[in-house]
């Protein structure tokens, strides 16, 4: 019995020592790494903007490989090429340019699928995404848009193949109309849906730019498409130069707007490798192409061709840098556990202010209703008195 008593006493002492060690660790390090459950009364840290939650990331970093930013680039360019290829010969009588754009769009759609499946690991994972049609999910809609655009681009290219071999028959004409219509309908969302995809997440730097990302990604995709066509030999087309200038101007405006933001969540775009990539991409796809394209308008034919090609190379390089920079900025933003807590604090203050305004409005409405209810009662009493009392009294 004595041995048993001493054993229980030793176990109790070891538990107390372990609890004390956990308390000291929590006080000194701000986190508890020892195994076991929380002892009663232990000073376990509370999540705050200063300490985070046990010093761990509140948000999970994007688990994408390096293929995904390239998929963003290829998808944006392919969607824009599909739209250009479907409308160029109809609006501008550019049959050769349209044919090149459609084949580029088809190749880009195939490459987009390959890149996405390579990142997912197995083709079955992409097929499983098509089992659900969820309009409120950017990822679900993106998988369907990719499938629809790939089918439309393939059908349009098949129609061009039939027309080249068999002539302009019924089958080729029908396939061409269906394919080009699908390229326009699916190409428009496909060229910028990736901006919607990353904006609709909890990553602070992405969510903070949820409205700007689709515009920036869409204009970047348009500039990439224009640049690819110019490098393919269509550097003398005025329409392409106008599209390139427009997309570069919009990208420059979006970059200036992003640089003016002083919120903590936007700092990931201004520091480290992510900031370097984003800013380099902004310069390469914004002011530099604008300067080169404007200069080409006043240069000779040979020099203008060189300037347009330099602008195209700059636009493609800027588009790639921008996408890799945004993905890297998302990873940096997710590692900073203070940002989501600050965002939640800001939202809580907004909700409190909104509740206070609603309460004040309700009280004002209630007081007005009470004052309005007194009038009808007084008027009704006066009418009843006039009816009951004889006239003249």
Helices (H), the chain: 2-29, 67-91, 95-120, 123-129, 138-166, 170-190, 193-199, 204-208, 212-231, 238-260, 272-285, 287-296, 301-335, 338-388
Name the token pair of 25: 């660790």
167 plus 229 within the same structural domain: no
24 plus 87 within the same structural domain: no
The answer, yes or no, to whether residue 27 has pLDDT greater than 90, is no
Question: What does the pLDDT read at residue 392?
Answer: 47
Question: What does the pLDDT read at residue 74?
Answer: 96
Question: What does the pLDDT read at residue 339?
Answer: 66
The tally of CA atoms less than 13 A away on the side-chain side of residue 148 is: 20
DSSP 73-87: HHHHHHHHHHHHHHH
The whole-angstrom separation of Cα 189 and Cα 145 is 7
Report CA 304 to chain centroid distance, whole Å. 36
The answer, yes or no, to whether residue 119 has pLDDT greater than 80, is yes
Residue 53 phi/psi, 5-degree rounding, is -115, 100
Residue with tokens 């019995």: 1
Confidence band (pLDDT; 50, 70, 90) for 307?
Answer: very high
239 plus 314 within the same structural domain: yes
The domain tally of the chain equals 3
**Average pLDDT in the 267-296 region?**
93
Q: What is the largest CA-CA distance in the chain?
A: 113
Quote the pTM value.
Answer: 0.74
Q: At what angle do helices 212-231 and 301-335 cross, to 10 degrees?
A: 150
Question: What does the pLDDT read at residue 266?
Answer: 82
The answer, yes or no, to whether residue 197 has pLDDT greater than 70, is yes
Q: What is the pLDDT of residues 135-179, one digit of tens each?
A: 888 899 999 999 999 999 999 999 999 988 888 888 888 999 999
Question: What does the pLDDT read at residue 153?
Answer: 94
Of 315, 336, 357, the one marking the end of a domain is 336
Q: What is the pLDDT of residues 261-276, one digit of tens each?
A: 888 778 889 888 999 9
In a domain, 99, yes or no: yes
In DSSP terms, which residues pair with 56 in a beta bridge?
53
Contact 88/238 with Cβ under 8 angstroms?
A: no
Name which of 172-176, 193-197, 358-362 the model is least confident about: 358-362
In a domain, 60, yes or no: no
146 plus 238 within the same structural domain: no
The answer, yes or no, to whether residue 54 has pLDDT greater than 60, is no
* DSSP type of residue 38: P
Closest CA to 220 of 284, 266, 265: 284
In a domain, 387, yes or no: no
Q: What is the pLDDT of residues 94-109, one digit of tens each?
A: 889 999 999 999 999 9
Question: What does the pLDDT read at residue 184?
Answer: 94
Of 286, 313, 336, the one marking the end of a domain is 336
In a domain, 227, yes or no: yes
**Average pLDDT in the 312-325 region?**
96
143 plus 218 within the same structural domain: no
Q: What is the pLDDT of residues 57-83, one digit of tens each?
A: 677 788 888 999 999 999 999 999 999
187 plus 210 within the same structural domain: no
Contact 214/192 with Cβ under 8 angstroms?
A: yes
* DSSP type of residue 268: G
272 plus 175 within the same structural domain: no
170 plus 135 within the same structural domain: yes
The answer, yes or no, to whether residue 343 has pLDDT greater than 60, is no
Report, in angstroms and rounded to the nearest whole number, the Rg of the chain calculated over CA atoms: 32
Name the average pLDDT for the chain.
82
Residues in the chain: 393
The whole-angstrom separation of Cα 275 and Cα 268 is 7
**Burial letters for 72-97: b for 16+ Cβ neighbours within 10 Å, e otherwise?**
bbbbbbbbbbbbbbbbbbeeeebeeb
In DSSP terms, which residues pair with 14 in a beta bridge?
none
77 plus 184 within the same structural domain: yes
DSSP 312-367: HHHHHHHHHHHHHHHHHHHHHHHH-THHHHHHHHHHHHHHHHHHHHHHHHHHHHHH
Handedness of CA 29, 31, 33, 36 (dihedral sign): positive
**Average pLDDT in the 231-239 region?**
91
36 torsion bin: left (phi>0), alpha (psi -120 to 50), beta (else): left
In a domain, 345, yes or no: no
The answer, yes or no, to whether residue 132 has pLDDT greater than 60, is yes
In a domain, 357, yes or no: no
Question: What does the pLDDT read at residue 247?
Answer: 95
Confidence band (pLDDT; 50, 70, 90) for 89?
Answer: confident
In a domain, 364, yes or no: no
Q: Which residue has the higher pLDDT, 70 or 89?
A: 70
168 plus 216 within the same structural domain: no
Question: What does the pLDDT read at residue 19?
Answer: 73
Of 288, 307, 336, the one marking the end of a domain is 336
Question: What does the pLDDT read at residue 41?
Answer: 52
Structural domain that includes position 8:
1-29
242 plus 287 within the same structural domain: yes
3-state secondary structure of 48: strand
119 plus 173 within the same structural domain: yes
In a domain, 37, yes or no: no
């Amino acid at each position: 019995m004595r041995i048993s008593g001493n054993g229980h006493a030793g176990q109790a002492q070891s538990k107390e020592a372990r609890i004390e060690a956990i308390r000291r660790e929590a006080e000194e390090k701000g986190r508890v790494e020892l195994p076991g459950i929380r002892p009663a009364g232990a000073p376990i840290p509370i999540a705050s903007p200063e300490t985070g939650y046990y010093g761990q990331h509140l948000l999970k970093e994007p688990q994408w490989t390096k293929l995904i930013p390239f998929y963003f680039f290829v998808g944006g360019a392919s969607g824009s090429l599909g739209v250009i290829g479907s409308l160029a010969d109809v609006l501008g009588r550019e049959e050769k340019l349209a044919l090149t754009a459609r084949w580029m769009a088809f190749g880009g759609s195939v490459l987009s699928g390959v890149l996405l499946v390579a990142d997912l690991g197995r083709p079955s994972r992409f097929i499983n995404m098509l089992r659900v049609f969820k309009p409120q999910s950017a990822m679900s809609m993106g998988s369907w848009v990719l499938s629809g655009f790939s089918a439309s681009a393939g059908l349009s290219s098949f129609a061009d193949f039939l027309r080249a071999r068999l002539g302009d028959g019924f089958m080729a004409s029908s396939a061409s109309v269906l394919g080009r219509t699908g390229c326009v309908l699916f190409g428009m969302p496909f060229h910028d849906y990736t901006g919607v995809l990353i904006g609709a997440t909890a990553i602070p730097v992405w969510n903070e730019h949820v409205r700007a990302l689709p515009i920036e990604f869409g204009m970047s995709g348009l500039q990439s498409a224009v640049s690819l066509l110019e490098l393919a030999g269509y550097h003398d087309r005025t329409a392409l130069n106008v599209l390139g200038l427009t997309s570069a101007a919009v990208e420059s405006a979006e970059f200036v707007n992003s640089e003016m933001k002083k919120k903590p969540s936007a700092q990931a775009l201004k520091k480290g490798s992510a900031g370097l990539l984003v800013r380099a991409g902004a310069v390469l796809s914004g002011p530099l192409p604008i300067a080169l394209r404007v200069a080409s308008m006043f240069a000779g034919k040979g020099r203008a061709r060189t300037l347009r090609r330099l602008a195209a190379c700059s636009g493609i390089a800027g588009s790639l840098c921008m996408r890799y920079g945004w993905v890297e900025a998302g990873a940096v933003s997710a590692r900073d556990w203070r940002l989501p807590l600050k965002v939640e604090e800001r939202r809580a203050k907004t909700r409190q202010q909104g509740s206070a305004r609603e309460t004040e409005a309700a009280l004002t409405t209630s007081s007005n209703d009470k004052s309005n209810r007194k009038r009808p009662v007084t008027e009704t009493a006066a009418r009843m008195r006039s009816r009951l009392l004889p006239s003249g009294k």
